[in-house]
Amino acid sequence: MRTDIAILGFGVVGAGTAKVLEMNKEEIARRTGTEIYVKHILDLRDFPDSPFADRVTHNADEVFGDKDIKIAVETIGGARVAYEYTKRALSAGITVVTSNKELVSTHGVELLKIAKENGCQYLFEAAVGGGIPIIRPLYRCLAANKVVRIAGIVNGTTNYILTQMKDNGISLEEAVSQAQQNGYAEANPAADLEGIDAQRKLSILSTIALDGTYVAPSSIDAKGITEITTDDIEFAKKIGCELKLIALFENKEGSKPVAYVAPTYVSRSSLIASVEGVFNAIMVEGNALGESLFYGQGAGAVPTASAVCGDILEAAAGDKMPDSRLWEDKGEAIEAYDDVKASIVVRAPEIPVTAFSEYDSVRLDGAVIVNDIAHKDIDRLIAGIPGAKWMHYLK
């Protein structure tokens, strides 16, 4: 048997997907009983040196009009052309597999609905955590859990930069340019540095954790690492922490769900603190499972393609999309950031003994951990402490 697929956008991940399918074709055929055949590659460019050069077309009609195509891999990126092509494919009953977190997080509600209506699927394992299996485990393995918390390092670029700053004592600017030289940051790294990429991924994870109640990226407060100094990093060592950009989701009994992205002092007792360089790690806490961590390469052509291929094989098996995979936009799904109660670290040359007396707090050398403090109260409370600075804290 043969399953014909099309790849839309032959960039890093698209080409990686073709490569992985070729590299492991024997394993794939044995496991699925079908050969996955890349019939069309839709791109504006030509790739004369690629072994797939003969499959490249610039004509979208040729791809979407081909009745043999059962699966389209959307690796264009962005939410414009990718959005149009994804709608067109799904409307034609073609299952779409993607690594495009921007598109999934922005238009997931609509695209999943179109997929359902047309008897196909919209799959996006590769959109979060690169090659790390996380979307499917959340849906499948944790099906009998209520997800009470997700805490993740979901952006490899910023984790690489923070690791370099720590290990080599260099400034943010130096670390960014080093990351660019090594291919770990884009020429314009704003989406990574400002936490926008993490915000999109957290939108997807939170929505799944809430059984499809859509958490829009725009509703998630995201601070990036643009203001992080070598001082902030040095201070982490002093209090037994590592400074990480954390995407946090919480759904405690009796409160509204919470989701935000912020640079965070992570206690070294947590395995997440040990995640270095471009790696990603996502800690999921289920009410039955307890804590579970998923760790691996969060980016890169071949690891991400590995996740794309996992979805292709699932799609090739022809499973129907269950109703429970639909997303629904019910408006405000999460608590307003100002009202969210967080754990923070406040540091200052001198902190008055009475400073946070009404809070559950722990005194450290030159700092205080303050628990359950509403974001809106933080500035007021530290205003009276000369030189005070605060950051989120994760135990």
Residues designated as active site: 201
If one counts every other C-beta atom within 10 angstroms of the C-beta of residue 290, the result is 10
Q: Whose Cβ is closer to a second copy: residue 247's or residue 302's?
A: 302
The HSE-up count of residue 303 (CA atoms within 13 Å, CB side) is 17
Spatial distance between the Cα atoms of 331 and 210, rounded to a whole number of angstroms = 13
Residue type, 389: K
| 302 binds a second copy per the rule CB under 8 A | yes
Nearest Cα neighbor of 89 from 146, 24, 6 is 6
* CB 372, CB 343: distance < 8 Å: yes
124 is written with which tokens?
């996006």
Taking CB under 8 A as the criterion, the residue among 287, 341, 359, 389 binding a second copy is 287
| 152 binds a second copy per the rule CB under 8 A | no
Q: Whose Cβ is closer to a second copy: residue 324's or residue 357's?
A: 324
Over its C-alpha atoms, the chain yields an Rg (Å, rounded) of 22
| 310 binds a second copy per the rule CB under 8 A | yes
| 336 binds a second copy per the rule CB under 8 A | no
Residues 6 or more apart whose Cβ sits within 8 Å of residue 17: 7, 73, 75, 305, 308, 309, 312
| 286 binds a second copy per the rule CB under 8 A | yes
Please count the residues of this chain forming the interface with a second copy, following the rule CB under 8 A: 56
CA angle 236, 240, 241 (to 5 degrees): 50
Residues 6 or more apart whose Cβ sits within 8 Å of residue 280: 129, 130, 132, 152, 153, 154, 155, 156, 159, 295, 296, 297, 298, 299
Q: Whose Cβ is closer to a second copy: residue 32's or residue 57's?
A: 32
| 33 binds a second copy per the rule CB under 8 A | yes
* CB 157, CB 189: distance < 8 Å: yes
| 267 binds a second copy per the rule CB under 8 A | no
| 306 binds a second copy per the rule CB under 8 A | yes
Residue type, 215: V
| 21 binds a second copy per the rule CB under 8 A | yes
Q: How long a stretch of residues is the chain?
A: 395
| 144 binds a second copy per the rule CB under 8 A | yes
Taking CB under 8 A as the criterion, the residue among 166, 199, 300, 382 binding a second copy is 300
* From 183-191, 247-255, 280-288, 351-359, span contacting a second copy (CB under 8 A): 280-288
Q: How far is the CB of 300 from a second copy (least distance, A)?
A: 7
Residue type, 251: N
Q: How far is the CB of 115 from a second copy (least distance, A)?
A: 18
Element (H, E) at 337: none
Residues 6 or more apart whose Cβ sits within 8 Å of residue 389: 232, 346, 347, 348
| 277 binds a second copy per the rule CB under 8 A | no
| 77 binds a second copy per the rule CB under 8 A | no
Nearest Cα neighbor of 366 from 346, 380, 391 is 346
Q: How far is the CB of 106 from a second copy (least distance, A)?
A: 24
| 213 binds a second copy per the rule CB under 8 A | no
| 153 binds a second copy per the rule CB under 8 A | no
| 1 binds a second copy per the rule CB under 8 A | no
Q: Whose Cβ is closer to a second copy: residue 150's or residue 307's?
A: 307
Q: How far is the CB of 134 from a second copy (least distance, A)?
A: 9
Taking CB under 8 A as the criterion, the residue among 60, 191, 239, 293 binding a second copy is 293
* From 50-58, 140-148, 162-170, 254-262, span contacting a second copy (CB under 8 A): 140-148
Q: Which residues bind a second copy (CB under 8 A)?
A: 20-21, 23-24, 27-28, 30-33, 125, 131-133, 136-137, 140-146, 211, 271, 274-275, 281, 286-297, 300, 302-303, 305-307, 309-310, 312-314, 317, 319, 322-324
